[in-house]
Structure 1
Amino acid sequence: MLEHGGRLRRAAQQYGIPLAEWLDLSTGISPWPWNLPEIPANAWMRLPEDDDGLEAAARRYYGAEQLLPLSGSQAAIQLLPKLRPAGRVGVLSPCYAEHAEAWRSAGHDLREVGDHDVAHQLEHFDVLVVVNPNNPTGRRIEPGVLLEWHARLQARGGWLVVDEAFMDCTPEQSLVASCASRPGLVVLRSFGKFFGLAGARLGFAFAEPGLLARLAQLLGPWSVSGPTRWVAQAVLGNFHEHIERRRDLAEASRRLAGLLGEHGFAPQGGTSLFQWTVSMQSHALRDHLARQGILVRLFETPASLRFGLPPDEDGWQRLEQGLRTFNQMESLR
């Protein structure tokens, strides 16, 4: 299993701090709960049905006709490599590590490439995978650039796979509404990040109908639970609250960037849901914060930390104190 954020129970055991006393900033998931409807009993008692309204609500929210609900976008990440014969796959890195692992495990010849290498290496790939906005760097690639890459790949029967898990805060930059049904283009979206409902395990794939049908066949029936389908319909349809949530997340992210900068850890990138800072002190700071009951996400290459958003003023004060005491300790060395 690859390393991921959110493993709070393991941190609680490792540092001897009760689970309830932790401030979890490790996931890049919206820290605020959503107003959820009451789930009717039949959502629990009956098998899920495809015509219950979820697909219609998702079409309205994303502005796309062709889509497939999934048990989290992770399901598509693991299954897409099985829909192509073994080939040459490029993954724009660093990014969410499950992409490279899935294609490599399925027998594809995988190469991780940097931003500046894609343009002149694209002809060597049958598939290119891009996370946009990127996790953890926050890097964004303009839609026009992505569509140029897609055209070059599709001309040779290739695919461009774009993971837009963190795109809900900037929907105007998404490829879903205008381009997602083009042959050779696959776009993935996550429900858990923006809506703060990672436990629901819901995501969507957007692609041409034939590819979605093949993916659905691999998924099998009932891939999304009835309660999740019920809750998601209500949440996806609350457009007024979507606007307010985007505004609040953007403000909190700017505050987080400022706080990190004040303490010598100015971010090198980020989104409305997290900030990312590169530092040779990453390991030491992660450990120091963990001893204060604050969990952040450590990355090894490059040595860096991803900070999610505190949920309340107490969380902001705890993070500020943790950063300040770290610098005080470092100054005494």
Structure 2
Amino acid sequence: MVTRPVVHGGQVHQVAKALGRSVDSFIDFSASINPLGPPASVLRAMQAALPACGHYPDPSAEELRMRLAKEHGISSDSIALGNGSSELIRILPLALSLRQGYVAGPTFMEYEASLHIAGARCTHVLATSGEKYAPPMEELSLLVDAIHAGSQKAARRGGESHTAVFVCNPNSPTGRVVTARSLRTLYRKIEEAGLWMVVDEAFIDFCPSHSLIKEISNARRLLILRSFTKFYGMPGIRLGYLVGAPETVATIRRLLPPWSVSHFAQEAGVAAVDDVRYRQRSVKFMQQERPRFIKRLREVPGLRIIPASANFVMAELPSTCVTAGLVSRMARQGLLVRDCQTFSGMTQPALRLAIRHPRDNNRVIHALKKALREGGCD
């Protein structure tokens, strides 16, 4: 089982209750959500969907799957929808009969948790602080080579692999991205070895050129996870999807609970995918605000900023810093930040900061500068 509890960002309700304050009194940098908020088109679609709440939702979510299929140029049979991508992650080890998972980390803890819940082993292949957390692609490649060499006899006997490699791209909490070219190279080795490759693209809308989703039609052992939470700013709606070979997706869909995706979520998803202007505005905003935010953070003495390609930035703190104390101090000022030491394999104290509106970003920078100057993370 998991050796420590899985901690997520966005725990504004718990913090507000503990401090006796209203939720609205906090600025949440701990959850990496698009600061532009959910598209107005999504809110209108959900309002229009209210009269249908007296009926069960479409269990196959056909309209949304067809819309996503058209968007990505793939078959609708290649898509499974879930109550957030986290629901899909939870059933993947069971659907693939996994006994072993190799996770490129430090990263989102749900991969590890889901493997352990299914009784599978989890091994982390870690990026390092010294390399600015560059994704460990060479290490993964060598690992796959070694597995392949050791499993060729079993493969000749018709044995089936029960091993998967998990990569979050761009990665959370580090913000680093792997190029599509590098991922394709790794996938070819993984397929040849008879393994599975799971790529979580929850943040890929902020750097879409690195997506592998167009590869799905010719990659039967590749699974891609997508989320509406981060880019479309709608975490409370709970909507995500998985893309893969139709036969694998059919197995996954059979394991999902009935009516997993509500009618409201389905209608919200269609509206979000259709809102091209929102997507363009969100990408433009992030391309402008991210470099400004990073530049200002690099001016804070004591912080080491990791290059980022998503809508958040990881900042390493001085090695003597107790991050829990700093996180608590910031919360009392109404600023929620993510303690990265709750991620498996993270050896250096660090924070993950969502990129929000410039005024909010300036406020958290000022608070961090003041806290570090006053020894606020001792």
Shorter-normalised TM range: over 0.9
Structure 1 stretch displaced more, 242-251 or 264-273:
264-273
Query: What CA distance in whole angstroms lies between the structure 1 residues aligned with 2:263 and 2:62?
Result: 9
Query: What CA distance in whole angstroms lies between the structure 2 residues aligned with 1:186 and 1:101?
Result: 18
1:290 is aligned to 2:290:
no
Name the structure 2 match of 1:2.
6
Quote how far apart the aligned CAs of 1:284 are.
Answer: 4.1
Query: What CA distance in whole angstroms lies between the structure 2 residues aligned with 1:6 and 1:90?
Result: 27
1:216 is aligned to 2:253:
yes
Quote how far apart the aligned CAs of 1:95 are.
Answer: 0.5
Name the structure 1 match of 2:132.
none
Instruction: Please give the secondary structure, in 1, of the residue aligned with 2:289.
Output: helix
8 A contact 2:289–2:358 mirrored in 1 = no
Name the structure 2 match of 1:299.
340
CA deviation map 1:186-216 (0-9, x unaligned):
0000111000001111111000000000000
Query: What CA distance in whole angstroms lies between the structure 2 residues aligned with 1:152 and 1:272?
Result: 27
Q: Percentage identity across aligned positions?
A: 25
Query: What CA distance in whole angstroms lies between the structure 2 residues aligned with 1:311 and 1:226?
Result: 31
8 A contact 1:91–1:111 mirrored in 2 = yes
Of 311, 316, 322, the match for 1:278: 316
Name the structure 1 match of 2:140.
118
Structure 1 stretch displaced more, 59-68 or 254-263:
59-68
Query: What CA distance in whole angstroms lies between the structure 1 residues aligned with 2:314 and 2:352?
Result: 4
Name the structure 1 match of 2:285.
248
1:61 is aligned to 2:71:
yes
Instruction: Please give the secondary structure, in 2, of the residue aligned with 1:330.
Output: coil
1:19 is aligned to 2:23:
yes
Q: How does 1:80-99 map onto structure 2 within 5 Å?
A: 80-99=92-111
Q: Which amino acid aligns with 2:276?
A: F
1:169 is aligned to 2:215:
no
8 A contact 2:74–2:214 mirrored in 1 = yes
Query: What CA distance in whole angstroms lies between the structure 1 residues aligned with 2:311 and 2:283?
Result: 10
The count of corresponding residues between Structure 1 and Structure 2 is: 331
Q: How does 1:200-211 map onto structure 2 within 5 Å?
A: 200-211=237-248
TM-score normalised by structure 1 residue count: 0.92
Quote how far apart the aligned CAs of 1:63 are.
Answer: 3.4
TM-score normalised by structure 2 residue count: 0.82
8 A contact 2:12–2:23 mirrored in 1 = yes
Query: What CA distance in whole angstroms lies between the structure 1 residues aligned with 2:244 and 2:306?
Result: 32
8 A contact 1:67–1:206 mirrored in 2 = yes
Name the structure 1 match of 2:306.
268
8 A contact 1:26–1:306 mirrored in 2 = yes
5+ residue gaps, structure 1, are: none
Quote how far apart the aligned CAs of 1:233 are.
Answer: 0.8
Quote how far apart the aligned CAs of 1:87 are.
Answer: 2.6
5+ residue gaps, structure 2, are: 127-135, 149-162
Quote how far apart the aligned CAs of 1:270 are.
Answer: 2.3
CA deviation map 1:221-263 (0-9, x unaligned):
3111001111211111011221111111222222221221121
Quote how far apart the aligned CAs of 1:181 are.
Answer: 5.4
Name the structure 2 match of 1:30.
34
CA deviation map 1:59-117 (0-9, x unaligned):
23333322121111111110010023343321111010110111122122221112142
Q: How does 1:30-49 map onto structure 2 within 5 Å?
A: 30-33=34-37, 34-35=39-40, 36-37=43-44, 38-49=47-58
8 A contact 1:180–1:186 mirrored in 2 = no
Structure 1 stretch displaced more, 9-18 or 224-233:
9-18
Structure 1 stretch displaced more, 224-233 or 280-289:
280-289
1:325 is aligned to 2:370:
yes
1:93–1:52 CA distance, 2 compared to 1 (3 A): closer
Query: What CA distance in whole angstroms lies between the structure 1 residues aligned with 2:99 and 2:191?
Result: 14
